[in-house]
Amino acid sequence: MTGPLLKIEKLEASYGHVAALKGVDIEVNAGEIVTLIGANGAGKSTLMMSIFGYPRAQAGRILYDGHDITRVPAHEIAKLRIAQVPEGRRIFSRMTVLENLQMGATVGEPTHFPKDIARVFKLFPRLQERINQRGGTLSGGEQQMLAIGRALMARPRLLLLDEPSLGLAPLLVKQIFRAIRELNERDKLTVFLVEQNAFHALKLAHRGYVMVNGAITLSGPARELLERDEVKSAYLEGGRPAA
Amino acid sequence: MTEQSAPAAAVPSRFPAALKSAALSALVAFGLFSLIVGARTDQGPTGALIVFPRLDDLAWLAGVVFAGSFLRTLLFGDAPLQVSRHFPSGVKRIGARLSRFAAPALLGFALIAPLLFYSNRYYLDLSILVLTYVMLGWGLNIVVGLAGLLDLGYVAFYAVGAYSYALLAQNFGLSFWIGLPLAGILAAFWGVLLGFPVLRLRGDYLAIVTLAFGEIIRLVLINWQSFTGGPNGIASIPRPSFFGLPFTDDEGGFAHTFGLEFSPIHRIVFLFYVILALALLTNWVTIRLRRLPIGRAWEALREDEIACRSLGINTTNTKLTAFAIGAMFGGFAGAFFATRQGFISPESFVFMESALILAIVVLGGMGSQLGVAVAALVMIGAFELLREFAQYRMLVFGFAMVLIMVWRPRGLIGTRVPSIFLRKEKELPSSMVAEGRR
Ligand SMILES: Nc1ncnc2c1ncn2[C@@H]1O[C@H](COP(=O)(O)OP(=O)(O)O)[C@@H](O)[C@H]1O
Ligand SMILES: [Mg+2]
């Protein structure tokens, strides 16, 4: 192994004149689950989107498998087997579950399709039951499953997830997170997880980063971060489940 | 059956709300109409403009609005009207069953229409007009209905097609069958040209730029006198021949060759089948493309551009092909228009045409092929029927649009038909079903 699968170096990005990322350094090693936590508006989604070039990085580099992908066009990124589940799921609501999954296979090998869809259905049997249902009529949890399933159809090596727990009931959050762990442990999928739900995210991840105002303030093994007072007081009060 | 679900007791309690909403509506109407209706300008004796107040008309209008709004709120409450709920479910079921047979029935009717209307030139001409708009609607449907790119300047491509064929035929003597594909290609080229600058625009911004594009093309046509003939247009554009046989009353003409008695209707019937074939080609290509990755990418683009990019769809190419293919069909229709009319001028390509085609697509249900065809039939047909009442045409037209949008906010046929559908699990490869059950 030569180095981290994803390495972000001193990344800066802004919307107009407003700086959103102020020199961010992050590393994700192959086989890891790495989580990025932070308050609303910290710049987590911006970081995730800038990997896909929207907004474009103004300074710094993004290295994937040792190659500089900072200036690669968005639609080429998926071909490098980086898949993204953007914030808010963004499934195609007028298309059926099956059609959504087909869209996920856009950059995939057509001959892999039956096998890949079987894998998604095994992970989320609920999707198979709804195969002909329109995406927009699915429940929030099912939509999240579909968004993840759609991303998996491209056979990614690196999966980027932006707040998969957003707006979901605790039971569903557990189910989704269990699926992420399964993907990581069984399929050796590398996962970069952006979350506000710090408690669950740090429980799941191997390592974590804390972002405040567009900069990383803390990082380390997830278990250690869970014990840090700064993390506890700032992010865990609301994130810890009731039971 | 379901007259009105609200009990009569609810009516009096709505009285204050009804009064309030009626007063508000009347005020809005008063404001809106105060200049449009309330004041009339006329030339005075010295030639200067004099403003006459027309307060009585204004009062009448405000009064009618007041009464209408009052009754509506009193009877139905102030929730949005859901007209379809008031239809008995039997009617709805029959409607659903009818719509399954509508497409074959319409196609069958279209195929035999020239025989039915053979002796009625007016109906033949009207059918050709309707089919032209069906084709334009289907073409624009690719851009607006499938790819979700709001294009208010579609008539520009219609114009490019018409002028391309007219100029090619006049200057180089090209026949219709060679001019037609060239007109389509040129229009597609202009589609890409429009596509580039608007790649980053969406929604209303895109609408404004495409609107301007349509006007620019029209203004160029008017002002480039030496090339396009300016406001006078281009006359004596060659009529189409029956694959080389002209529709004339002499040796070597169509009628003579086939041993028929000459009749000017032959050409009209031929034109009918040409536009029918062109429209069906548009439909067929659209249906095929919808099943291919590019068509699916258009539909995905319409729903979520960010998701498209993250799935590896090249949104630039996807948009440009939508503009190009939509424009190409507009260009075909334009070439047909030119050869049918024999005369074209910029007056045929005004914004109103773009608006009409867009209305057909929106009314049809944004993306539904059958819906667009029905909408074109209804709109163009109704427009013709109202020809005698020219004064009230736009009024009735606007009123009908409002009614349809209240009745069916997503257009006549608003549900998207999936382009792939699995009826039974057994149609899945067995490997996909064996596992996965809880
Ligand atoms: N499209 C945008 N245009 C302008 N500013 C934006 C845009 N998206 C996000 N921002 C701003 O950038 C900052 C970071 O936002 P974001 O990355 O969405 O944060 P997070 O995902 O951590 O909640 C915020 O201040 C937000 O207001
Ligand atoms: Mg976010």
Per-residue model confidence as pLDDT tens digits over A195-208 = 988 989 999 999 99
Residue A238 Cα to ligand 1 middle (Å): 22
The answer to whether B210 and B150 have CB atoms below 8 angstroms apart is yes
Q: What is the pLDDT of residue B144?
A: 92
Question: In which band, very low, low, confident or very high, does the pLDDT at B403 lie, cut at 50, 70 and 90?
Answer: confident
Residue A48 Cα to ligand 2 middle (Å): 9
Could you tell me the pTM of the whole model? 0.81
Element (H, E) at B97: helix B89-116
Ligand 1 atom having least distance to the Cα of A44:
22
In a shared domain, residues B285 and B345 = yes
Which residue, by CA, sits nearest to atom 8 of ligand 1? Answer: A46
Element (H, E) at B288: helix B265-291
d(C-alpha A133, C-alpha A131), whole Å: 6
Residue at token pair 């189910």: A175
Q: What is the pLDDT of residue A2?
A: 67
Helix crossing, A140-152 with A170-187: angle to 10°? Answer: 10
Look at residue B5 and tell me whether its pLDDT is greater than 70.
Answer: no
Look at residue B427 and tell me whether its pLDDT is greater than 50.
Answer: no
> Among residues of chain B, what percentage have pLDDT more than 90?
41
Q: Find all residues with CB under 8 Å of B203, minimum gap 6, and list them.
A: B150
Q: How many domains does chain B have?
A: 2
Q: A36-40, A127-131, B176-180, B366-370 — which is least confidently predicted?
A: B366-370
What does the DSSP 8-state code read for residue B261? P
B window 298-357, beta carbon within 8 A of A: 299-300, 303-304, 306-307, 309-315
Rounded to the nearest integer, the mean pLDDT of chain B is 84
In a shared domain, residues B310 and B375 = yes
How far B356 CA sits from the closest chain A CA (Å)? 26
In a shared domain, residues B135 and B261 = yes
Q: Does the beta carbon of B89 lie under 8 angstroms from any beta carbon of chain A?
A: no
In a shared domain, residues B43 and B187 = no
Ligand 1 atom having least distance to the Cα of A87:
21
Asked whether residue B72 is assigned to any structural domain, the reply reads yes
Facing A75 at nearest CB: one of B315, B432, B437 = B315
Domains in chain A: ranges and CATH: 1-81+158-165+188-237 (3.40.50.300)
ipTM comes to 0.90
Q: B224-228, B395-399, B420-424 — which is least confidently predicted?
A: B420-424
How far A236 CA sits from the closest chain B CA (Å)? 31
Which residues constitute the domain of residue B401? 120-407
Asked whether residue B21 is assigned to any structural domain, the reply reads yes
Question: In which band, very low, low, confident or very high, does the pLDDT at B113 lie, cut at 50, 70 and 90?
Answer: confident
Asked whether residue B112 is assigned to any structural domain, the reply reads no
Provide the 10 A C-beta neighbour count for residue B3.
6
Model pLDDT for residues B125-180, shown as the tens digit of each residue? 999 999 999 999 999 999 998 999 999 999 999 999 999 999 999 999 898 999 99
Model pLDDT for residues B240-255, shown as the tens digit of each residue? 888 778 887 777 788 7
Look at residue B86 and tell me whether its pLDDT is greater than 60.
Answer: no
**B362-391: average pLDDT:** 83
Asked whether residue B376 is assigned to any structural domain, the reply reads yes
In a shared domain, residues B224 and B301 = yes
Q: What is the pLDDT of residue A150?
A: 96
Q: Which is more confident, B52 or B123?
A: B123
**B66-76: average pLDDT:** 84
Which chain B residue shows the shortest CA-CA distance from A76? B312
In a shared domain, residues B21 and B144 = no
Asked whether residue B95 is assigned to any structural domain, the reply reads no
Q: Which residue among A12, A15, A196 has the greatest number of ligand 1 atoms within 8 angstroms of its CB, and so is best to mutate?
A: A15
In a shared domain, residues B142 and B273 = yes
Asked whether residue B104 is assigned to any structural domain, the reply reads no
Angle at B16 between CA B13 and CA B20, to 5 degrees: 145
Look at residue B115 and tell me whether its pLDDT is greater than 60.
Answer: yes
Q: What is the pLDDT of residue B11?
A: 61
> Can you name the residues that pair with A210 across neighbouring β-strands?
A37, A218
